[in-house]
Structure 1
């Protein structure tokens, strides 16, 4: 029964974790967001009051 032989499955597990831990994190951390938050845009605008008559 080939599924009882741990040697090929251990190699697959080892190389997949090697890829996950060594190759992918620098690629993910090198991602830049194109729209950086602007500190001037964080102010909330003052809402205008309505001057409509209610009668």
Structure 2
């Protein structure tokens, strides 16, 4: 049964993982998000206490 011969499939698997582990993470990590969460966190929001009239 030729589908059980690992020779062509192992090379394809290794080549695919080399692509996945080198090219794709560098592209994902180089992505810049349009909404910077640090800019929002830098602004102090003023909180108001509630005056409950019990």
* TM-score when normalising by structure 1: 0.68
Q: Which runs of 5+ in 1 are unaligned?
A: none
Counterpart residue number, 1:9: 9
TM-score normalised by the chain length of structure 2:
0.69
Structure that is richer in helix per residue? 2
Q: Distance in 1 between matches of 2:8 and 2:21?
A: 20
Q: Which has the larger radius of gyration?
A: 1
What is the root-mean-square deviation of aligned Cα atoms in Å? 1.9
Deviation at residue 25 of structure 1 after TM alignment: 1.4
Name the structure 1 match of 2:18: 18
